[in-house]
Amino acid sequence: MKLLSTKATCNSHGQDSSYFLGWQEYEKNPYDEVMNPEGIIQMGLAENQLSFDLIESWLDKNPDVPGFKSNGKSIFRELALFQDYHGLPSFKKELVDFMAEIRGNKVTFDPNHIVLTAGSTPANETLMFCLAEKGEAFLLPTPYYPGFDRDLKWRTGVEIVPIQCTSSNNFQITEPALQQAYQDAKKRNLRVKGVLVTNPSNPLGTTMSRSELNLLIDFIKDKNMHLISDEIYSGTVYSSPGFVSVMEILKERNDLKDCDVPVGDRVHVVYSLSKDLGLPGFRVGAIYSENEVVVGAATKMSSFGLVSSQTQYLLSAMLGDKKFTKNYISENQKRLKRRQRMLVSGLQKAGISCLKTNNAGLFCWVDMSHLLHSNTFEAEMDLWKKILYEVRLNISPGASCHCTEPGWFRMCFANMSEDTLNLAMKRLKAFVAAESNDNACSKRTSRRKSLSNWVFRLSSRDHREQEER
Amino acid sequence: MGFEIEQPCVELSKVAVSETHGEDSPYFAGWKAYDENPYDELTNSSGVIQMGLAENQVSFDLLEKYLEENSEASTWGKGAPGFRENALFQDYHGLKTFRTAMASFMEQIRGGRAKFFPDRVVLTAGATAANELLTFILANPGDALLVPTPYYPGFDRDLRWRTGVNIVPIHCDSSNNFQITPQALEAAYQAAEAKNTKVRAVLITNPSNPLGATIQRSVLENLLDFVTRKNIHLVSDEIYSGSVFSSSEFVSVAEILEARNYKNAERVHIVYSLSKDLGLPGFRVGTIYSYNDKVVTTARRMSSFTLISSQTQHLLASMLSDKKFTENYIETNRERLRKRYNMIIEGLKSVGIECLKGNAGLFCWMNMSPLLEKKTREGELELWNAIVHEVRLNISPGSSCHCSEPGWFRVCFANMSEETLEVALERIRSFMERIKKE
């Protein structure tokens, strides 16, 4: 066989985990209101489909823009030729303004410090390439987005060491947990280059508290390392305590310059329009950093994943329409809040609770530990499969997010209609009711369901990966 | 801008601070001279004319006409039906209609002499990404790719920077029009071995940049035999395949594989892009076409780091599925490039400057070695400096392309109007007359 690289033949892309079974099964039997009402409802996909009408209406009012016209003149040629990795200046300006608007204008961003990338997937990978060597490590609080295992580690050779968070304090990051992670890395002979957090968190659906952020800043200051804050969900915060960006904390503190490398030079923000605007297909991501060396290197690296100039132009016009952005941001948040309430109350009716602090994101972090037959990840997997095959809901098991406690699941609510969400809740309620009946019976009949048929029904065809953010 | 930084105590990676991004070469310095004093027909007629940029600007009118007549390709139609689905589409398999259109476009370019299956097309944000991706897949850090000289300066970054892979040159020279000989191939392979470096692939650009010429069938056959013997890969970057002046002169490695019934095809991978043939570098549309299933699967997963905007896929799926449009485009574009090429060749010939006999691409490979005071790299750079600053033409010196013979320059002709090209030729005429007098 012709030799391929180690990267090509290893499994760090993470796509062969049984986790992708859920996506596969959904593909085989996808729910459709009319055509397949018994099918599997996709609740594992963190997409925002609630506010497309706002964008469509903007497009209707501005047909010139996607038609490559500016002030009545065609700018097709200029756009077609524009491949400067510094990015379209007008787009960068509108993007940083949008980012500031999302943060209530409590912080501003310099367009010269932003690097555009084809989505946040390459943004995160690029930062790894810039900040760490192969074999070095970043600390990540668990539970975390499964895609990080691929995005941060695959081609870079960088390791992830988990900061274990638990339900005892709603999975917040604590100082002991940080220190423990640092020690764990040391034991593994791994040099830690920084911490990477997602704020608001995926899969928790919560904003990070001021004290957590300050804790992180203290930690990286003390340990002389970097902090990456992936703020991809910053526009999806719909209830209190509201979103505090790490950039705000940096602004507030005055003790950050008294070290060899100012802390401000070691904090880097990642953003994307995939979640807030619901445009994952358009591949629009960004890295923001005050560190000019990082910006310089990342800019050059962005050659490997530039944003299409066609898309940059469309979005520069859309985001430049301040009436649109103001309305979009607030309306989108309202709709997300409403939808989340629907999911939470539906779950409540099934006797299921979710993280109390859930105030952001496109999903709830749901506690089904009381439904496990034992407090193990095996039991979690069994429950997940039941939910997939019997309830016909594809949800994300906590194990795939490296959660330390079994029984937690991420359920998305913004990628379907209200009716579909209601149906999902109905099915779940029925399942839970039946389960408790079963449990009552099983003491007498000790019926054991074998799940091995489902487990090993692996397709031989390459299956479509799902961006499960 | 060099990377002379005092090591901050919070280190960045070696990759971040290295110079393997290659951006300090004269190739980029010429850009600077242009940026500081760009030619403009009306407002700056004595400025530097950019002839170092391999862009295709000769056929935009055809694209603009298409867009005018097919507005739903760019606007999703009235009420934007299909917008949501398009905006959500981030599947790394790519839009099926687009992949299919791309495969068929690649077939058309090769006059139907090779078949391309849509399921083997992997989409990437430009050929830059495609080449890097393939390097990650085919080689480990420290391994080597053999690349014939002269080659596109960007390869130094694209193939080496983040991958940690080395380039070992296959030396070609003017004695046989810079063609790759079996001896040169073997010598390069031995050179790598001598350094204890594992060779993983040969990477060629066909048609060649900067030569502006297609690779001959016999050379391709020989290359295929070579990589088979050595059990390594062959990457054929065919980004200029649609810019061949006469269709019959281009032989793609795909054709040879088909003729061989795809024997040993699983070591061959083709890179393509719409940046040159369609003049759309800003849209970031590249592809990897591989005959190796494992490479296709892995490349597809890796393409997550470099997907093509679905908005752009939608536009181009429409355009490239329109056979009437593509046939006309390919033919017309070819014709216009040929005309431009002849114009510049004749113009240079008339003042005694010879070029390599070319038949493709957006540039010619010009021989100014008779003018060198010293037939060295320094001599070449001196001449280049004079051309950039006195004649005010930004052209690319052969040394930036790792050419082993000093005195050759790549001169682009498709990124300007005919009038501007005429101005450039006039300046060269004056320059040559001045030299004759001296």
Amino acid of residue B53: L
A276 is a catalytic site residue: no
3-state secondary structure chain A: CCCCCHHHHCCCCCCCCHHHHHHHHHHHCECECCCECCCEEECCCCCCCCCHHHHHHHHHHCCCCCCCEECCEECHHHHHHCCCCCCCHHHHHHHHHHHHHHCCCCCCCCHHHEEEECCHHHHHHHHHHHHCCCCCEEEEECCCCCCHHHHCCCCCCCEEEEECCCHHHCCCCCHHHHHHHHHHHHHCCCCEEEEEEECCCCCCCCCCCHHHHHHHHHHHHHHCCEEEEECCCHHHCCCCCCCCCHHHHHHHCCCCCCCCCCHHHHEEEEEECCCCCCCHHHCCEEEEECCHHHHHHHHHHHHHCCCCHHHHHHHHHHHHCHHHHHHHHHHHHHHHHHHHHHHHHHHHHCCCEECCCCCCCCEEEEECHHHCCCCCHHHHHHHHHHHHHHHCEECEEHHHHCCCCCCEEEEECCCCCHHHHHHHHHHHHHHHHHHHHHHHHHHHHCCCCCCHHHHCCCCCCCCCCCCCC
> B78-322 domain in CATH 3.40.50.720?
no
Please determine whether the domains at B14-61+326-436 and B78-322 fall in the same fold group of CATH: no
What pLDDT, on the 0 to 100 scale, is given for residue B3?
41
Q: CA neighbours within 13 Å on the CB side: how many for A47?
A: 20
pLDDT at B56 over 90: yes
Report in angstroms the alpha-carbon separations of A70 from A58, A66, A296, B70.
16, 10, 30, 18
Choice among B30-39, B207-216, B329-338 with the minimum mean pLDDT: B30-39
What pLDDT, on the 0 to 100 scale, is given for residue A463?
39
What pLDDT, on the 0 to 100 scale, is given for residue B77?
74
The Cα of A433 is separated from the nearest Cα of chain B by a number of Å equal to: 35
% of chain B beyond a pLDDT of 70: 95
State whether B17 and A52 contact (CB < 8 Å): no
List CB contacts (< 8 A) between B93 and chain A: 464
Q: Is B49 helix (H, G, I), strand (E, B) or coil?
A: strand
Phi first, then psi, for residue B320 (nearest 5°) are -80, -15
Which class is B14-61+326-436 in CATH?
alpha beta
Dihedral angle computed from the Cα positions of residues A414, A417, A423 and A428, in that order, rounded to the nearest 10 degrees: -10
Average pLDDT, chain B: 93
The Cα of A72 is separated from the nearest Cα of chain B by a number of Å equal to: 13
Please write the tens of the pLDDT for every residue from A435-450: 888 776 665 444 444 3
Which of B39, B151, B152, B329 does the annotation list as catalytic? B152
Averaged over B307-329, what is the pLDDT? 97
Q: Are B16 and A293 in contact (CB under 8 A)?
A: yes
Q: Is B68 helix (H, G, I), strand (E, B) or coil?
A: helix
pTM: 0.93
Averaged over B396-406, what is the pLDDT? 95
Which of A145, A271, A313, A328 does the annotation list as catalytic? A145
State whether A464 and B91 contact (CB < 8 Å): yes
Q: From CA B201, how far away is CA B146, in angstroms rounded?
A: 6
Q: From CA B170, how far away is CA B404, in angstroms rounded?
A: 10
How many residues make up chain B in this entry?
438
What pLDDT, on the 0 to 100 scale, is given for residue A11?
56
A-B C-beta contacts closer than 8 Å: 240
Q: A456 or B36: which carries more pLDDT confidence? A: B36
What pLDDT, on the 0 to 100 scale, is given for residue B2?
40
Which of A102, A114, A160, A232 does the annotation list as catalytic? A232
Domain boundaries, chain B: 14-61+326-436, 78-322
Nearest chain B residue (CA) to A194: B10
Which of B109, B204, B239, B270 does the annotation list as catalytic? B239
pLDDT at B328 over 80: yes
Q: From CA B69, how far away is CA B75, in angstroms rounded?
A: 12
pLDDT confidence bin for B113, thresholds 50/70/90: very high
State whether A8 and B139 contact (CB < 8 Å): no
Amino acid of residue B25: S
A232 is a catalytic site residue: yes
Choice among A260-269, B119-128, B251-260 with the minimum mean pLDDT: A260-269
Which of A275, A276, A313, A387 does the annotation list as catalytic? A275
- ipTM of predicted assembly, 2 dp: 0.94
Please write the tens of the pLDDT for every residue from A220-244: 999 999 999 999 999 999 999 999 9
Please write the tens of the pLDDT for every residue from B288-298: 999 999 999 99
B180 is a catalytic site residue: no
pLDDT at B27 over 80: no
What pLDDT, on the 0 to 100 scale, is given for residue B20?
58
The residue of A4, A314, A318 whose CB has the most chain B CBs within 10 angstroms, and thus the best one to mutate to test that interface, is A4
**Cβ neighbours, 10 Å, residue B416:** 22
Averaged over B325-338, what is the pLDDT? 97
Averaged over B429-437, what is the pLDDT? 91
State whether A467 and B8 contact (CB < 8 Å): no
B284 vs A119, A129, A308: nearest CB: A308
What pLDDT, on the 0 to 100 scale, is given for residue A13?
57
User: Which regions of chain A are under pLDDT 70?
Assistant: 1-3, 10-19, 440-469
Q: Is B64 helix (H, G, I), strand (E, B) or coil?
A: helix
List CB contacts (< 8 A) between B134 and chain A: none
State whether B306 and A49 contact (CB < 8 Å): no
What pLDDT, on the 0 to 100 scale, is given for residue A1?
37
pLDDT at B194 over 80: yes
Q: Looking at B164-236, list the stretches that DSSP marks H as alpha helix, in order from N- to C-terminal side.
A: 182-194, 217-230
What are the structure tokens assigned to A209, written together?
């508290």
The Cα of B207 is separated from the nearest Cα of chain A by a number of Å equal to: 21
Please write the tens of the pLDDT for every residue from B342-354: 999 999 999 999 9
State whether A300 and B140 contact (CB < 8 Å): no
State whether B87 and A462 contact (CB < 8 Å): no
Question: Where do we find the tokens 């390097």?
Answer: B135
pLDDT at B31 over 60: yes
